[in-house]
Amino acid sequence: MDAKKQRSRFVEEAIWKVEQREGRRLRSGEGPLKAASFPLSAPPAAQDSSILRTPDIDRRMDALLDKPLSPSRLDEYLSCPARFFHRHVCSLYELDEVPEGDDYPAVGTMLHKVLQRAFEPYLGQFLRAGDLSAERLAALFREELEKSGLCDSLPAQSRFMLEAAGPHRLTEFLEHQPELTEVLQLENDTSAELFLGDRRFVLAGQIDRLDRREEGLVILDYKSGRASKSPRREFWHDEDLWQAMRDWAPGMPDPLPDLADSLPSLQLPCYLYMCGHDAKNASLLRLSPLADAAWVQLADGGEEIPEALDLEAVTGGQTQLQPLPMAVIDGGIQRYRLLIRRKPTGDQTGAQCVMLGACKVQKGVIGIKQGNGIRHNDLL
C-alpha cells in the first residue's frame, strides 16, 4: 500500500523456514507465498433521498415565518432549498473559526462604513460629480481599515494588497457616479408586510443607499465580492412565468426552478417592494416614483448594474412585485414542497458549500416524506 518493493526481514525469514522444511524454493503465487489483493467495487450511485416531514419541522417552519424574513434568506432558499433546510430548520452552521486567510465579510463591512461616512455630509442634499474627492475616500478607507482590526488578522500579503487596491477601487467607484444625484437615505432599515389569506409575513432588510435622480428614486446595493448577475433579459416580460407565480396552487407545476434560473437574486426586487410599501417613504414617493435598483460592483470597476426593471410596462406598478417573494415564502418555505438540491453552491472564494457534508446525495432530489412514506409533492 505504501509502494514498498521489498519484503521485510520477518517475511523473508518465514519463507526461508518453509523452503527449508519442504526442500524447495517457493514460487510467487503459490501457497503460502501469495500476493495480497483487495476486492474493489464502484462507489454507489447517488440516489434520491427524502427528509421525513414531522410535526416538529412544521412547528420550526411556522416559527421561522413568524419572524421578519430578509431578501438574502429568500435568496438562500431559491438557490438551494436543502441548504436552507439544514441551516434554518436543523440549525446547522459552519464552525466559528478564526480566519487564517482573506476575510471577505469583514472587508465588505469595512467598505460599507467607508461609503456611509463619505456620503453622510451630503445626506438630503444634491451631490455633484467632483464634490466628493478620491483623497477623502482614501483617508476614510485608511481610518476604517485601522479600526476594523483587519491589519492584525489578515495575512501580510492580503493586507498589503488590500491597502493598495482599496483606494484604487474607491476611485473607480467615484468615476462612475452620476453628474448629479440627491442622497436621501444611507444604511436605512426598511420593511413591508405581505398577506396570504389571514396570515401576515414581514420582509425586512437594510438599503445601502437611496438616491433621487432624474428618472426617479434609485436603490443602490454595494457589492464588494464577486460580480452580481442580472436577470435573464426576457424575465420581466415573461408573462407565463409571472402568471405561474401568481396562480400557483397545490398540484400545479412548480415555478421556482424557472424563477431561480431567470432571476439570480431576489434582493433588488424585494428592496423595491419594501421601499414602495414602507410608510416611512410615503412623502418621498409622493414627489418621485421608484425607478430602479442597481448593484454597485466595488470590486469590479465600481459600475452600477441596474436591474433594468420596467415597472409600469411589466407589472403595472411596483405593487405587482409581490408575486416574487410570495412565490418563495408560500410556495416554497410555507408549504415546503420538494427540496431540490440544485447544485453545490460556494461562497465568493469559490469554496465548496459548507452544508455539502449534510447532504446524503450529490445530485438529484432531496424530497420530503410524510409518515406514510409518500412524497409530500405527490399529496399536493
Q: With 0-12 CB in 10 A as exposed, 13-18 as middle and 19+ as buried, what is 284?
A: middle
Q: Which of 365, 105, 97, 101 is nearest to 257 (CA)?
A: 365
The residue extents of the domains of the chain are 49-92+177-379, 103-122+130-176
| pTM, two decimal places | 0.74
Query: Helix, strand, or coil here: 274?
Result: helix
Place 341 in a pLDDT band, splitting at 50, 70 and 90.
very low
Greater model confidence, 360 or 196:
196
pLDDT of residue 211: 96
% of the chain surpassing 70 pLDDT:
71
For 20-49, write each residue's pLDDT tens digit.
888 888 777 676 666 666 677 666 554 545
Q: Looking up cell 410570495, which residue turns up?
A: 326
* Interatomic CA distance for residues 279 and 298, integer angstroms: 31
